[in-house]
Amino acid sequence: METLDLTSVARADLALFLDIDGTLIEHQSHPTGAKPDSELLDLLQGAHRQLGGALALVTGRSIEMVDAMFEPLELPVAGIYGLEHRLRPGEPATYAAEPPDLAAVADALHQEFHTVEGIYFERKGPVLAVHTRAAPAAFASVKQAAEAALSRLSEGYRIVAGNAGLEFVPIDALKSAAIHRFLGIAPFAGRRPVFFGDDISDESGFEFVNAHGGISVRVAPKGTTAASFVVNTVAEVRRLLHAIAYPKSPTSPR
C-alpha cells in the first residue's frame, strides 16, 4: 500500500473528516477517560483554519459529550453516527432523544450485567453502547444477550460489534450519510473528502469517500478494510494533521 502524503494535495481542495476515539485519541478502558491534550486542540484549530473551516468530527459520541471533551474548541460535528449535527461553528446543534423501546432494552441489559466489573453502558439517545474493553471476557455473553434483545426493538435497528464492545444503532445512522450531508454545504462542498477512522462503524464512510474520489484512512485495522490507506498509530494521524495545520513547519508532534 502506498504512503499517504496529504501535503501533495492543495489544502483549498480538501474536506477533512475525523473520527475521535482510536483515531485522534487513544482508546481508554472507560469512554469518559478519553481527553484531548492541548497539542491535539492546537492541531485541530490550526487545521480548521488552514482548511477554511472544512474540517468536521464524525463520531459515535453525542455532540454534548464532544463539546465537553474539546472545550473551548467548537467544530462542525456529526454526532451519534450522523443522527446529530452541528454543521457550522456557532450554529445550534440538532439532538436526538432516546426512544422508549431502547430505554427498556438498556434497563434490562444493565440489570443483567451491572454486577460485572468493567462493563459500561453509554446511553446516547437513539444509540445504546455497551463497552467491554475493561471486561473482554464478558463480550460473548453481552453479545448473546444483545442479539436476543434486538427482537424487542423496531425493525430499524441493528447491532454493530466493534473493537471493544457493541452498539444498538438505527439502520439510518451511518457515517457515510453524515459525510454526504457536510459535502452539500459550504465550505465542504466541491472539495475532495478525506476521512480518518479506526473501527467497523467507519467502513461506510470509507466506502463513500472512495466512491467520491476521496482519501480514506483506517488506523490499525484488525482485518480487512475498505480504506485506501492504513496508518498504524494515533501518533501517525497526528503527524498528518500537523502537516495540514502547519505546512511550513518541519516539526512533528511528539
Place of cell 490507506: 229
Mean per-residue pLDDT over the chain, rounded:
91
CA distances from 250 to 90, 104, 227 (A): 33, 53, 27
Per-state percent for the chain, helix, strand, coil, to nearest 5: 40, 20, 40
CATH for 142: 3.30.70.1020
185 with 202, same domain: the answer is: yes
CA distance 83 to 132: 24
Residue 150 grid coordinates: 434486538
Q: What are the pLDDT digits (tens) for 126-182?
A: 999 999 989 999 999 999 999 999 999 988 899 998 778 999 999 999 999 999 999
CA distance 161 to 66: 22
The β-bridge relationship of strands 127-131 and 165-170 is antiparallel
pTM of the entire predicted model: 0.87
Closest to 144 (Cα-Cα) out of 125, 130, 123: 130
What is the widest separation between alpha-carbon atoms in the chain? 56
Residue 126 grid coordinates: 437513539
Residue of 250 and 225 predicted with greater confidence: 225
Residue span of the structural domain in which 55 resides: 6-95+174-245
- Boundary residue ending a domain (118, 148, 170): 170
Residue of 248 and 76 predicted with greater confidence: 76
Residue 79 grid coordinates: 454526532
- Boundary residue ending a domain (127, 148, 170): 170
> Which residues lie closer than 8 Å to 250 by C-beta, 6 or more apart?
none
Domain total of the chain: 2
141 with 206, same domain: the answer is: no
Residue of 4 and 138 predicted with greater confidence: 138
Catalytic residue positions, numbered:
19
Residue of 33 and 23 predicted with greater confidence: 23
237, 230 Cβ separation under 8 angstroms: no
Q: What per-residue confidence (pLDDT) applies to 8?
A: 62
Residue 136 grid coordinates: 473482554
